[in-house]
Amino acid sequence: MIKGRWLWIVSVLLVPLMLLACATPDVSLPETKPGTVIPPAKFEVPEKSATFSSADAIRQFESQVPNRYLIGPGDKLTVIVAGRTELSGQHTVGPDGNITLPFAGTVKLLDKDRDQAADIIKQALSRFYLDVYITVRIDEYTSNRIVVLGRVEHPGVVHFEDNPSLIEVLSRAGGFPIMRPEQVLTRCAVMRGNQILWMDLKRLLNGDLSLNIRLKRNDIIYIPDAYDTSVYVLGEVSRPGVYRLTPKMSFLDALGQAGGPSLRANTDEIRIIRLSQGLSKVVALDTVLTPGQEPNVALEEGDIVYVPRSGIATVGYWLSQINPFTMLLSIQSIAANASGP
């Protein structure tokens, strides 16, 4: 009689768990509310090279850099007029690019090299003097400055005596000593007027000197945080969290950095969400790993990789949390009470 009651009690405990295991709810995403716009089913795979500027754009950008130093505001010049000490002397170029000469008055030298400046001064003085010979010397190169912003040790204005290269600017601004994870140099923006270049610093630091472009006065360099370019891996993975987006980062790269799917993961319904474009795509891990099948999707900034939990794994998880000795004692207690007088 007692043995039969034991069998009945065990069956009562196991049947609900078996029914729960058979039910596999869709936990990947909440139900769509009425009136909600459903994102398009098509998930475009981005071009991996689109993150950075093309080689043609880089060449065109660098071609704008002059070969000679051009005079600008703040530069200190010495004008030497042969045989006429009263006309010779040092001048500071004003914010408007002008200097003031005796008798000749205001002379504009903005964006002129030394030889051009000497010719302009000669023409200005030739109205008052015959056979003048002019020499211009630059004593202080003040106007040739680059502005560096973002994750560098010394952001701000950096002065150069010539047109510096990108590596020279980053070295002067303290961009290479990597003190914190967010300072990992992967890309930078170079802005000039209404133009902007996105440079692949990883390639540059690995020896691709075609990216070591020369810069010109008043260029702006911006180094973003590594965390400014992030992807999110959530759900049933070993290490869910925020991960830095690296050049050519793929869906499998992000999943691998997060430690891969856990034992409770539903790897047939991994979802990739691109909020910026309203796109959502369900990916089966086995399909991605099969050669010649669905492509390994390249990720963009802000993408979310969500790995759902399977229904069977949910039941298995709760069963794994139950101490078998505690279960046995509970069943014995129930059996004892049931077999009482």
- Residue 43 in domain: no
* Same domain, residue pair 209 and 178: yes
pLDDT attached to residue 165? 92
Contact call for residues 218 and 66 (beta carbons, < 8 A): no
pLDDT attached to residue 144? 87
Domain count, the chain: 3
pLDDT attached to residue 226? 57
CA distance 198 to 54: 9
* Same domain, residue pair 148 and 132: no
Band (322; pLDDT cuts 50, 70, 90): low
Residue 223 scores a pLDDT above 90: no
- Max mean pLDDT among 28-42, 106-120, 140-154 falls in 106-120
- Residue 27 in domain: no
* Same domain, residue pair 155 and 116: no
Residue 41 scores a pLDDT above 50: no
pLDDT attached to residue 21? 47
Structure tokens at 280: 């959502």
- Residue 61 in domain: no
Average pLDDT value for residue range 90-110: 92
DSSP H or E stretch at residue 307: strand 304-307
Residue 84 scores a pLDDT above 60: yes
Q: Where among 206, 225, 244 does a domain terminate?
A: 225
Contact call for residues 257 and 305 (beta carbons, < 8 A): no
CA distance 106 to 126: 14
* Same domain, residue pair 177 and 206: yes
Residue 48 scores a pLDDT above 50: no
- Residue 167 in domain: yes
Q: What is the DSSP letter of 109?
A: -
Report the SS3 class of residue 125.
Answer: helix
C-alpha dist (Å) from residue 3 to 7, 15, 258, 327, 333: 6, 18, 50, 17, 14
pLDDT attached to residue 116? 94
Contact partners, residue 261, CB within 8 Å, separation at least 6: 236, 237, 255, 267, 270, 285, 307
Q: Where among 225, 253, 281 does a domain terminate?
A: 225
Band (103; pLDDT cuts 50, 70, 90): confident
Query: Which residue type sits at 116?
Result: Q
Which string of DSSP letters, residue by residue, matches 8-42?
HHHHHHHHHHHHHHH-----SSPPPPTTPPPPPS-
Angle between helices 311-321 and 2-22 (to 10 degrees): 140
Residue 305 scores a pLDDT above 60: yes
Contact call for residues 133 and 82 (beta carbons, < 8 A): yes
* Same domain, residue pair 198 and 166: yes
| The 76-81 sheet, strands edge to edge | 89-92, 76-81, 134-140
Q: What is the DSSP letter of 219?
A: -
Residue 263 scores a pLDDT above 50: yes
- Give the residue numbers spanning the domain of 209: 144-225
* Same domain, residue pair 84 and 120: yes
* Same domain, residue pair 203 and 132: no
Q: Where among 225, 256, 274 does a domain terminate?
A: 225
- Residue 70 in domain: no
Band (53; pLDDT cuts 50, 70, 90): confident
Q: 289: closest CA among 325, 257, 251, 262? A: 251
Tell me the average pLDDT of the chain. 77
Angle between helices 2-22 and 324-338 (to 10 degrees): 130
Could you tell me the pTM of the whole model?
0.53
Residue 335 scores a pLDDT above 70: no
pLDDT > 90 in the chain, percent: 23
Lowest average pLDDT, out of 111-115, 203-207, 327-331, goes to 327-331
Average pLDDT value for residue range 42-64: 71
CATH number for 167 = 3.10.560.10
* Same domain, residue pair 155 and 210: yes
pLDDT attached to residue 194? 82
Which string of DSSP letters, residue by residue, matches 55-101?
HHHHHHHHTTS-SS----TT-EEEEEETT-TTT-EEEE--TTSEEEE
Residue 131 scores a pLDDT above 50: yes
CATH number for 101 = 3.30.1950.10
Q: Count CA atoms within 13 Å of residue 254 on its CB side.
A: 34
Average pLDDT value for residue range 39-46: 47
| The 187-192 sheet, strands edge to edge | 156-159, 145-150, 220-223, 187-192, 195-200
pLDDT attached to residue 4? 55
DSSP H or E stretch at residue 331: helix 324-338
